[in-house]
A and B are shown apart, each in its own frame.
Chain A
Amino acid sequence: MNVRVLLRTSALLVAVGLIAVGIFQPIEAEGRWLLFLWAAAPLLGVAAWLTVPPTVPSLARNVGNIGLVILIGFALLSLQLLRQQVLYADTIYHHVAVAADGSTTSNVRPVINSQRILRGRMFDRKGTLLADRTSVQGFAHRTYPIAERYDPAIFGHVLGFFSTRYGQSGLESFYNTYLTGERGNELERLRERLVGGTPQGNDLTLTLNADLQAAASAALGGRVGSVVVLDPRTGAILALVSQPSFDPRGLTFNPAAASWEAENLRVSQYWQQLIADGSQQPLVNRATQGLYPPGSTFKSLTAIAALEYAAEGQPDTITCPNTFLPQPDAPPIVNAVPNLAGLTGDPSDLERVFAYSCNTAFAQYALRLGPERMSEIARRFDILPPQRGTTNYAGFRELPTAQSLLYVEPGFLNMPRALADTGYGQGQLLVTPLHMALLTAAIGNEGVMMQPYLVQRITRPDGGQITSHVPRPIRRTMDTNTARIMVQHMGAVAAYGFGSSVDNFTPAGVTVGGKSGTAEHVPGARPHAWFIALAPLEAPRFAVAVMVESGGEGSSVGAELAGRVLGAAFATE
């Protein structure tokens, strides 16, 4: 009899243990839970069978045994219901199933709920309404009132699209919980839950200047590239243009359409058009996700390194030979312009080799400093070696942003030629336009790099403020003095160096500084045109980075574009 009790207790314990462990398996491991559950079933049967005192075999006893099997089956059902309707109900509700061919399925309920919510509006820094919403027979419709003045595609990458079929991007995605009202307005949600009503989201006020954004986009014209304008003092993003772009209206379902089928077809056709081969990837935000070699604009970082480590770098003891051979077994480094020493003088100083963008001089600085110091300075600007970098840049999360890299292959900088190339902005450098704007802004803000941001304020529908962005420094990247010297050197570029056309479009009396970049990416192809600029130099209010893919010379194409953007920045301020 004792053996029976022991067996019964142990079978019961094992079964309960299996179920207890299994029921908390995540919903993805459903197979494991079912295995545990079915393994527990015969154990429960044994336990129950041992509980009933043995009697002579009879029809009634057989019937009892069948009933026992049914009872255990119902117990399994109850456990499965407990798991699916209580423990993991919320997870299942939001679960997105991914099929083998990559297609996904989600619950239709949250999708329909999202269509009912009046998403929050988005304003620019001057209060211009960028994105609005209307209600059509209970269905919310995202509209873009800015279309009356500018093409909404100009704002596509920043605002993002909102599609019930293709999801969200940009700020629509990052601030989704605020825009739906899920966060920031919990009391109101509770009230709606109890007494009903149309849920209304919270409004965003951006740092963007819609007029500047439109002017920057116009200056870029039809070219592929990007423009970033920051306020160096705060890190506020005033303009962020990436072309080609997409029209968020194209992906927004309009419930007022006469035929919903035709409307769905229009949306899916526009999507197919966006993702088609040869469409130049309009869904990629080049300003934050585009990784390019920065070309000579990176010389500003090498210059900062030489100034910070003046003993090793010796910034004002430099020459600008026509060729420089850092490694005997590698081809020599040459300047973009022959006989540059005629312009820089020989011996020269940092200001002149910076203004005339002398490759051989910056190759020498890099070699003098060595890989550790170069890496250390780059790290201050969050330009990281691949081992330390993550896929996304942690300093700016509002839009999908790539991490800028100092090099790609580990150990790359240990080769003298590679280090020298990195010194003047080639090598394996991969930098986003936003990151070059951050570097420029840090120079303009006396060496303190501010965290970039796009959303200034989030307000409730009744106008109450939920959060407001307080400017936050990322870190001090250089000495104040270094920053002042760098500002002067950038001024020299505009005054007499390569890229002096940058101040052609700014109001008279405004001093402008900058640095051009002509980045080679594929041998034989037209180089990428870069330009970084700061203005006014006495107290910089604008830090600009422009980049035109395969645009040509940075000192001409880049400088003109940056100049126009700066001009617009002053005009629309």
Chain B
Amino acid sequence: MAERTHKPDYLLLATVGSLVAFGLVMIYSSSFVEGYNLHNNQYYYLLRQMVGAAIGTVGLLVAQRIDYRMWRKYSIHLMAACIGLLVLVLILPASITEVNNSRSWIRLGEGGVFGLFSVQPAEIAKLIIIIYFADWLSRRSEKVGNVTYGLIPFAVMMGLIFGLVMLQPDLGTGVVLVLIGGSIYFAAGARVWHILGAIGLAVASFWFLISVAGYRNARIMAFQDPEKYYSTFGFQPTHALYALGSGGIFGQGLGQARQKFQWLPQAHTDTIYAIIGEELGLVGTVLVLIAFAIIAYRGYRIAGRAPNPFASLVAVGITSWITLQAFINLGVTTSLLPFTGLTLPFVSYGSTSLYMNMIAIGVLLNISKHTSQHQPEEITDAPRIRPRPKLAFLNNLAVWRGHGRARLPGFGSGHRYRRR
């Protein structure tokens, strides 16, 4: 049965596609002021993001055709390359890598065609650690609960990646990496007290980090009282709040945000959600939230029905990555969490982030082709009439050719059922 494949999860694909398209619109809306001011080109950020979206689309289509088991074969190689890239970003001259005091980028040039393209190794690392840990943990399903063979090697590997990212420094990405690793580890069957101990250790080390790195400490304080620290770190939350409050229920209209006129910093990256809130109101913000909820639902459903533990863990990792990062970004914008720089998947500006997210969705879609249609307890002996899926119309959309075989529209589901 695992060898037989079926159609990928079209709802997931449609949601991601809508988010990417919506993101391009919002990026233009939120960045034309800054693009014009800094680069004398209002399309500056939109162009770069479109390059990312193009790469991402190709990447997604390719990744969903590559059998997920292929990744498993190269998990060690990928991890080595990932560590290499993370070290490279620290070694290369600052002129190539440094933006906003963080050495996170490898840029191939400022202007010209290559200026449209840059690489953020930490974004690539997110997908690679998912594959690596999924492979590693699925190999030792019995020993995951064991301290010596499970917890310690896992913690060492996690710590190495986290440490490399923290040297850039990029706390937000580091936290997401740990959360991704943690969710895979939990899904693989970790002992609850290991997880609790790890959380305690993480909180302690987090506290250590923020008290050593003074600026993040100030950010925590700014989170507690944004107005008091207005001129320094409360600036962003205060203006994000103004943007959301001004939007109200129906928003001020697309393109009508005021906070993007150099009031709200990083309007097109970290705080794009605030601009969505000001322009499209609660309607827009809730729709984005629903889109991520759909991704979470479909992603974890794929994980739950995956044909083997490796596929399941990869699906968990990818879904957790996207939804947790979205949660942190939205939480930060709505002052639910302390301020930290993280992009909103598929929507925020950041081409590496965009195409890596899309490639990850490609991998997830490939796994969705191999899922078992029913969970074991759903199968009964009685003859069963398969209900027509609510979103079956998506099967008729001409965007997807399946396996290249012609399909008869309208008879899709029944036809498929008989064939199986």
Contact = CB atoms under 8 A, between A and B. Distances in A.
B8 interface: no
Residue of B188, B234, B277, B323 ringed by the most chain A CB atoms within 10 A: B323
Contact of A59 (B189, B225, B247, B252): B189
A37 B261 CA distance: 32
A63 B187 contact: yes
A97 to B, nearest CB: 4
A88 B245 contact: yes
A78 B228 CA distance: 26
A519 to B, nearest CB: 45
B258 A67 contact: no
B50 interface: no
A311 interface: no
A165 interface: no
A92 B245 contact: yes
Contact of B241 (A84, A99, A101): A84
B379 to A, nearest CB: 15
Contacts of A66: 183, 186-187, 300, 316, 320
Nearest to B187: A62
B227 A98 contact: yes
Interface stretch (B15-23, B56-64, B290-298): B290-298
A78 B289 contact: yes
Contact of B327 (A67, A73, A89): A73
B231 A107 contact: no
A71 B259 CA distance: 30
Contacts of B75: none
B224 interface: yes
B227 A99 contact: yes
Nearest to B330: A77
A99 B231 contact: yes
A59 B188 contact: yes
A446 B286 CA distance: 68
A101 B228 CA distance: 8
Interface string B217-254: 00000001111111100100010011011111100100
Interface in B89-136: none
A59 B189 CA distance: 7
Interface stretch (B31-39, B331-339, B408-416): B331-339
A108 B244 contact: no
Contacts of B238: 97, 105
Sorting the interface of chain B by its residue count into under 10, 10 to 19, 20 to 34 or 35 or more gives: 35 or more
A34 B375 contact: no
A109 interface: yes
Q: Is the interface of B mostly helix, strand, loop or mixed?
A: helix
B335 A30 contact: yes
Interface residues of A, number: 44
B321 to A, nearest CB: 11
B258 A112 contact: yes
Given A85-B285, A92-B242, A76 B186 contact: no
A472 interface: no
A505 to B, nearest CB: 56
A411 B21 CA distance: 76
Interface in A280-322: none
A86 interface: yes
A60 B282 CA distance: 34
Interface in B312-347: 312-313, 316, 320, 323-324, 327, 330-331, 334-336
Contact of B242 (A67, A107, A112): A107
A89 B245 contact: yes
B300 A63 contact: yes
A80 interface: yes
Interface string A90-103: 11110101111101
B263 interface: yes
B280 to A, nearest CB: 10
Nearest to A96: B227
Contacts of B334: 77, 80-81, 84
Contact of A70 (B226, B246, B327, B336): B327
Contacts of A100: 228-229
Interface string A378-421: 00000000000000000000000000000000000000000000
A103 B234 CA distance: 13
Contact of B245 (A57, A73, A84, A101): A84
A404 B309 CA distance: 83
Contact of A85 (B189, B245, B309): B245
Interface string B175-190: 0000000010011110
B303 interface: yes
Contact of A109 (B246, B313, B320, B323): B246
A90 B309 CA distance: 50
A108 B258 contact: yes
A89 B247 contact: yes
A31 interface: yes
A30 B228 CA distance: 13
Interface in B260-315: 261, 263, 277, 281-282, 285-286, 289, 292-293, 296-297, 300, 303-305, 309, 312-313
B364 to A, nearest CB: 13
A387 to B, nearest CB: 35
Contact of A67 (B226, B241, B248, B300): B300
Nearest to B243: A107
Interface string A36-53: 010000000000000000
A93 B245 contact: yes
B199 to A, nearest CB: 12
B239 to A, nearest CB: 8
B217 to A, nearest CB: 16
Contacts of B309: 59
A63 B227 contact: no
A496 interface: no
Nearest to A83: B334
A108 B375 contact: no
A82 B323 CA distance: 20
A218 to B, nearest CB: 46
A30 B249 CA distance: 20
A73 B183 contact: no
A167 interface: no
A507 interface: no
Interface in A236-256: none
A64 interface: yes
Nearest to A105: B230
A64 B300 contact: yes
A71 B303 contact: no
Interface string A254-274: 000000000000000000000
A74 interface: yes
B81 to A, nearest CB: 28
B178 to A, nearest CB: 14
Contacts of B261: 108
A70 B331 CA distance: 12
A60 B302 CA distance: 10
Contacts of B285: 81, 85
Given A59-B312, A86-B248, A86-B282, A70 B324 contact: yes
Which 8 residue pairs of A and B lie closest in terms of their CB atoms, listed nearest first?
A92-B245, A97-B227, A99-B230, A67-B300, A85-B282, A80-B334, A60-B304, A62-B187
Interface of A: 30-31, 34, 37, 57, 59-60, 62-67, 70-71, 73-74, 76-78, 80-82, 84-86, 88-93, 95, 97-101, 103, 105, 107-109, 112
19 contacts: A31-B224, A31-B225, A34-B335, A59-B309, A60-B303, A62-B186, A62-B188, A63-B316, A67-B296, A70-B320, A70-B323, A80-B334, A80-B335, A84-B241, A85-B277, A95-B241, A101-B231, A108-B263, A109-B252
Interface of B: 183, 186-189, 224-231, 234, 238, 241-242, 244-249, 252, 258-259, 261, 263, 277, 281-282, 285-286, 289, 292-293, 296-297, 300, 303-305, 309, 312-313, 316, 320, 323-324, 327, 330-331, 334-336, 375
Given A31-B225, A84-B335, 8 more contacts: A59-B309, A60-B303, A60-B312, A77-B336, A82-B282, A85-B244, A85-B245, A107-B242
